Structure 1
Amino acid sequence: MTAVQETPAVPAPEPARGRLGVGTGTALLTGAVLGPGVLALPHLAAAAAGPSAIIAWAALLALSAPVALTFASLGVRHPDAGGVASFARRAFGPRTAVAVGWWFFGVVPVGTLAGAMIGGDYVASAAGLGRPGAAAVALALLAAAFASNHGGLRLSGRVQLALVAGLAVLLVVAIATAIPHLRADAFTPFAPHGALGVAQAAGVLFFAFAGWEAASHLSADFASGASTDSGSGTLLRRATVATLALVGVLYLGLAITVTGALGTRAETSPVPLTLLLRDGIGPAAGPLTAVAAIALSFVAMNTYIAGGARLGAALARDGALPRVLARGADAGQVPHRSLVVLEVISGAVAAAVLPLGLGLDPLMRVTSACLAAVTLVGVAAAVRLLPRGRSRALALTATVFVAAVALSCGFYLAVPAAVALAVAASVRPSGPS
């Protein structure tokens, strides 16, 4: 392949520069972290660990603090829309930057199919369609998301944030209505699968904790242009802390109520939020959560397909993928060829997963492994890029924590490892790495 010039990452929604305050910044960061995966992950975590899945939720929330604050510090000192790929290039050279790009591009079809299946499960549950109906809805969502991207349709940041706000409200209602139904006996036996179950729950739950790197994409958009501990740096950190608090309350509240109110039903039902709401508000819970799941799944799929296709075209432009895919890399263009590649891969994954009834778990775990690898590279880069002192110590802590969580992904780490080996074998950097 030809020399690699740059490997952009998928940016967060871009507001007007210099216009973000703590409130809008918190909304955007929350939108980057909170997504439709949270509709299915409580079930997957409970199936892996039983009630002790709460430990995995709490541990990942504790991990999120140093990770989120590290990305905020990177964004303040090195504002760049390229995000983790840019940090990786600065710290480790172009091959690592390309690996980050390939990890994301390669996992987009897996993650988007997972999002489609979440929507399909909730619709099928509400309408009594069964597994074939859920698969049909998932395929329809997948086709609609690709069609909208070929047509150049982009949902506005305001629409996406409104839907995320709707999800947050739905979670609050589910948690509040479930509290009267909590039962102490639902927490016993607490750890039926032991420590291994908790580790396996953490491996799949990382899907719900990705997105903190969005802070680095948004750093230049805060109200002040200062790049120190004052001005935009203070605003970005405040927004990060506010997001940590909000996400922490929602995730822990959901983990506790899913376990305490549903008991073993959380381990067997793919639609835990519907069950929580049904206990609290009655039959309206099914249609309500189905509509929310469809909207949120489509938004997430549309966003990731758009970003993945743009990234694929940029990788091709810079020599990290075949040049024929580079068309559409420029702003305002639709990267149709890159989209077709993602369509073909998505179709192949769907053909392998849906007829066999493999479910969400392996898709979520593959996606979590790749996202964990991206996050690990980002925080490790921070150890080299941030100045000595508190910021570097925080980055080192984040690196150790993320490495431990990445190990919980188990043999699914073979996916990002294989991609990294392919990069090492096929990508020729333009200069010293």
Structure 2
Amino acid sequence: MTTRTGLSVSQGAALSVGAVLGTGLISMPALAAEAAGPASLVAWLALILLSAPLAWTFAALGARYPDGGGVSTYARMAFGPRVAAAVGWCFYFAVPLGAPVAAAFTGGYVADVLGGGRTTEFVTFLAIIGTAYGMNWFGLRISGKVQLVLSACLATLLVVTVVAALPHARWENLQPFAPHGWTGIGAAAAILVWGFAGWEALSSLSGEYRNPQRDVPRATLIAVAVVGVLYLAVAAVSVLALGPALAGSRAPLADLLAIGVGGPVRAITAVVAVVLTLGAVNAYFAGGSRLGAALAGEGALPARVFGSQRKAMTFILVASVVSALLPLGLHTAALLVTGCFTLVYVIGTAAALRLLPAGWSRVVAGVAFVAVVALLWLNGWPALLSLAIAAGAVIYQEWSSRSRVPAAADSQETCQVG
């Protein structure tokens, strides 16, 4: 009797947690508090509750249509190649927008130790993306197992931080609860999408399970519970222990550890943040370069600029530096990225409404669709960039297909004359 190979429930849950538990949490509590004050906890709770139907929708798609292409595959099945290309563009162009933001999160921790403010943050950014670019240029990869170890390190850091800072929590730090009004909760929710991006990976992993129909839902529930508990615990302790100082913090986890443990924790936290971010940015460059080259191979991007992994990766590097130099501010830059993620979720859940059979899963997909549409609206004007990127993909596809028709006709006429 042979033993079936593939992911177990525990392995799948660990991979799913690793896909979602990103570096954004090292700064997200401060950005959310800046937008909404203590009321940011409502936004955290809302995003955690949204994670359940969103994750379940992608898990249901993966269980029914196991495929490594993820949202792009489902968009193609439901709406055709042009919408699938729009999903690819949103993912690809989010990379050079997101890399400077991720590096800026870490730069705050490095500057907290070394000083130098924005200059130190920018140098940290250049060092991280330069290292990631060099590693990928020479084919050096951080394996999936190492990525899981990095995610486990982050989870451990979060648990230690919560336990250390919990004795310093004060209920009075919840007042005033909503200093920027209740609209601040929506603004906080829009930016917190950064910390919850990754649930779409559930559909890509589905084909790797031993028994997708049975194991994908179980792993999903475990992953949602683990991520939800970690995120809400860190957010709550950050608000209760740091109080008003949280909103202006560039290194909130270091601040929490400092009041809970003391000693050289700021330097240790900075080193951990750099390693975690390097792993994440390396994954961005590796995945983005493959995606860009694949889109070019399908005719969805110009091959002259994006036609190989190195070309696609060089574009990401240059565009990342340009993005970092723009006077956007960390909050706005993060919203530009979360707008792209949210639009992908809108398309993915819309595809689920067309592909999933009538029943409980389609109802859950409908709830997820309404929720992510609301999030896209809450994203505000930065969401226009994601819509422009998607429109650019459709326009380029149309222009490219029309330009190929005359070229093919000319070629046919030349052959006939010959």
TM, length-normalised to structure 2 = 0.93
Equivalent in the alignment of 2:389: 419
Higher normalized helix content (fraction of residues): 2
Looking at structure 2, the residues matched to 268 and 327 of structure 1 have their Cα atoms a distance apart, in angstroms, of 43
Q: Which of 65, 70, 77 lines up with 2:52 in the alignment?
A: 65
1:426 shift after superposition? 2.1
Looking at structure 1, the residues matched to 321 and 397 of structure 2 have their Cα atoms a distance apart, in angstroms, of 27
Q: Which of 163, 168, 171 lines up with 1:176 in the alignment?
A: 163
Q: Which has the larger radius of gyration?
A: 2
Equivalent in the alignment of 1:104: 91
SS in 1 for 2:326: helix
Equivalent in the alignment of 1:284: 264
Q: Which of 120, 124, 136 lines up with 2:107 in the alignment?
A: 120
Equivalent in the alignment of 2:409: none
Does residue 80 of the first structure (1) align with residue 54 of the second (2)?
no
Q: Which of 300, 307, 314 lines up with 1:340 in the alignment?
A: 314
Instruction: Report 1:4-15 matches (<5 A).
Output: none
Cα deviation digits, residues 281-309 of structure 1 (max 9, x gap): 10222012101110110011000111111
Does residue 300 of the first structure (1) align with residue 287 of the second (2)?
no
Contact 1:177 1:281 in 2 (8 A): yes
Equivalent in the alignment of 1:10: none
Looking at structure 2, the residues matched to 36 and 420 of structure 1 have their Cα atoms a distance apart, in angstroms, of 26
Over aligned residues, Cα RMSD in angstroms?
A: 1.5
Q: Which of 298, 309, 327 lines up with 1:318 in the alignment?
A: 298
Contact 1:312 1:325 in 2 (8 A): no
1:327 shift after superposition? 4.1
Looking at structure 2, the residues matched to 352 and 425 of structure 1 have their Cα atoms a distance apart, in angstroms, of 26
Q: Which of 18, 42, 47 lines up with 1:55 in the alignment?
A: 42
Looking at structure 1, the residues matched to 100 and 311 of structure 2 have their Cα atoms a distance apart, in angstroms, of 19
Cα deviation digits, residues 103-123 of structure 1 (max 9, x gap): 111110011111111221111
Does residue 186 of the first structure (1) align with residue 173 of the second (2)?
yes
Equivalent in the alignment of 1:371: 341
Looking at structure 1, the residues matched to 214 and 163 of structure 2 have their Cα atoms a distance apart, in angstroms, of 33
Aligned AA (2:60): S
Does residue 211 of the first structure (1) align with residue 198 of the second (2)?
yes
Q: Which of 376, 379, 391 lines up with 1:409 in the alignment?
A: 379
Equivalent in the alignment of 2:406: none
Does residue 130 of the first structure (1) align with residue 117 of the second (2)?
yes
User: Percent identity among equivalent residues?
Assistant: 45
1:127 shift after superposition? 2.2
Tell me how many residue pairs correspond in the alignment.
Answer: 398
Task: Structure 2: state its 5+ residue gaps.
Answer: 403-418
Looking at structure 1, the residues matched to 126 and 225 of structure 2 have their Cα atoms a distance apart, in angstroms, of 36
Equivalent in the alignment of 1:4: none
Looking at structure 2, the residues matched to 327 and 136 of structure 1 have their Cα atoms a distance apart, in angstroms, of 30
1:341 shift after superposition? 1.3
Task: Structure 1: state its 5+ residue gaps.
Answer: 1-16, 225-231, 329-334
Contact 1:49 1:193 in 2 (8 A): yes
Looking at structure 1, the residues matched to 263 and 31 of structure 2 have their Cα atoms a distance apart, in angstroms, of 24
1:423 shift after superposition? 2.3
1:326 shift after superposition? 5.4
1:360 shift after superposition? 2.0
Equivalent in the alignment of 2:183: 196
Does residue 264 of the first structure (1) align with residue 251 of the second (2)?
no
SS in 1 for 2:231: helix
Contact 2:335 2:383 in 1 (8 A): no
Contact 2:238 2:252 in 1 (8 A): yes
Cα deviation digits, residues 238-260 of structure 1 (max 9, x gap): 11100111011111101110100
Aligned AA (1:340): T
Equivalent in the alignment of 1:14: none
Aligned AA (1:427): Q
1:43 shift after superposition? 0.5
Looking at structure 2, the residues matched to 154 and 359 of structure 1 have their Cα atoms a distance apart, in angstroms, of 31
